[in-house]
Structure 1
Amino acid sequence: MMTAKRKRERKELVANLLAQDWNVFGTLKFINGRTIGRHGANKLLHQYWNKVDRTFFGNAAHRQKVRVPRWCFAHDGSDSENFHVHFALLAPIKDIDHACCILNAVWDQHHRQTAPLDKNWITPVWDRSEVASYLTREYWRLGSATLLDDLSWNGTAGETMAVFEHAQQQARIQRAASPIWLRQAQQALKEQKAHYLEKNALFVWERS
């Protein structure tokens, strides 16, 4: 049972999340979250986010610390053994759907241990309160360790990211995620959106 202290801390964390600017919710899974191990998983996650930052911002990711604003959370699943990561982020380009597809395609191609497109979940945010609650749902068990500070970043404004939407960025995106992978990611996104809308339609119907 969650202690009063952790309930209060989680409430504060949710409030802090809702005060930030983000419009994408994501889940990054592994081929086997039960055997990947935290050390191996963290290494792949660091490499992934570094690649994402370089894809969108080139050398500025390292030299000027222009990175995708993101808040990453560790989850162990219902059995406490299936490690995966959820995140909220501010899309680095105007086309939010396209940003979701790029993020999924890059993760899929990242390593033999990262999950395929249809096993991850990266979509635009429909309900910020619902997302914030979901991101922090394992706070009762993990406490502050659920927030992955070393993977998160909150130092880049949307106006700064907009400056990088040009031909060079498009070229980097094409190198990071081929058109074939992006088309497959678009299909995965379409199915995830349909699943979300169906789930919420059922929720409303059951309570009508």
Structure 2
Amino acid sequence: MTFEQRKPERQALIEHLLAQDWNVFGTLKFVNGRTIGRSSADKLLRSYWNKMDRLMFGKAAERQNKRVPRWCFAHEGSDSENFHVHFALQAPILDVDHMCCVLNAVWAQHHAQTASLAKNWIMPVQDRAAAASYVTREYWRMGSGTLLDELCWDRTPADTMAQYHHDQQAHRITRAASPLWLRQAQQALNAQKAQYEASGDLQMMERG
């Protein structure tokens, strides 16, 4: 399928994404996106998002299918060999900055092959249109394969998520990401915010 044929499909995907509620924009990287292998990467991503669902919703994640609302996109980089994932997400807790730090800290500790805090890029979204355009930017090459349907979820409304804002949730988060990890994640977030505010260039998240 040609670029011109995929252009309206990508635009429809952008419009769909902009119609959803999300306030976090992130990039999950691997120690080496060129050698991780798609099968290994997919397993790590599935287990990571399952863990985040359990952190936020406890046993309800599995028993009642409560999951963090998210839209995940595979990217392969300019040479089609550097696999990583971009995502848009609706924070299930009120403190969006804290959610960004938790997401980064849990991913950084998840496996020997998941990237360090400074290498990932997870921030409160600043420009939804720019973010939606960015996550879909490889549609022309990958087609619908860029959207990782098996990792996406859009059926947990805000009022449902609010029911889980309690001490048990906070305790689960603390067990998964210690204060030290969260402080380091906050430092990474502060640095990324400063870089973005200085240039406004989302391409920065591809570096490192």
TM class, shorter-length: over 0.9
- The two structures have a TM-score, normalised by structure 2, of 0.95
- Runs of 4+ deviating beyond 4 Å: none
Corresponding residue of 1:95: 95
Corresponding residue of 1:150: 150
How many Å separate the matches in 2 of 1:57 and 1:33? Answer: 30
Corresponding residue of 1:44: 44
Q: Which amino acid aligns with 1:40?
A: S
Q: Which amino acid aligns with 1:157?
A: P
Corresponding residue of 1:25: 25
Corresponding residue of 2:184: 184
Q: What are the equivalent positions in structure 2 for 1:1-208 lying under 5 Å apart?
A: 2-200=2-200
How many Å separate the matches in 1 of 2:174 and 2:77? Answer: 34
Which SS does the other structure have where 1:25 is aligned? strand
* Structure 1 unpaired stretches of 5+: 202-208
- The two structures have a TM-score, normalised by structure 1, of 0.95
How many Å separate the matches in 2 of 1:67 and 1:200? Answer: 31
Deviation track 1:104-146 (CA, whole Å, cap 9, x = no partner) reads 0000000000000000000000100000000000000000000
CA RMSD of aligned residues (A): 1.1
Which SS does the other structure have where 2:105 is aligned? helix
Superposed displacement of residue 2, structure 1: 4.7
Which SS does the other structure have where 2:39 is aligned? helix
* Count of aligned pairs between the two proteins: 201
* Structure 2 unpaired stretches of 5+: 202-208
How many Å separate the matches in 1 of 2:174 and 2:93? Answer: 14
Which SS does the other structure have where 2:123 is aligned? strand
Corresponding residue of 2:206: none
Which SS does the other structure have where 1:117 is aligned? coil
Corresponding residue of 1:206: none
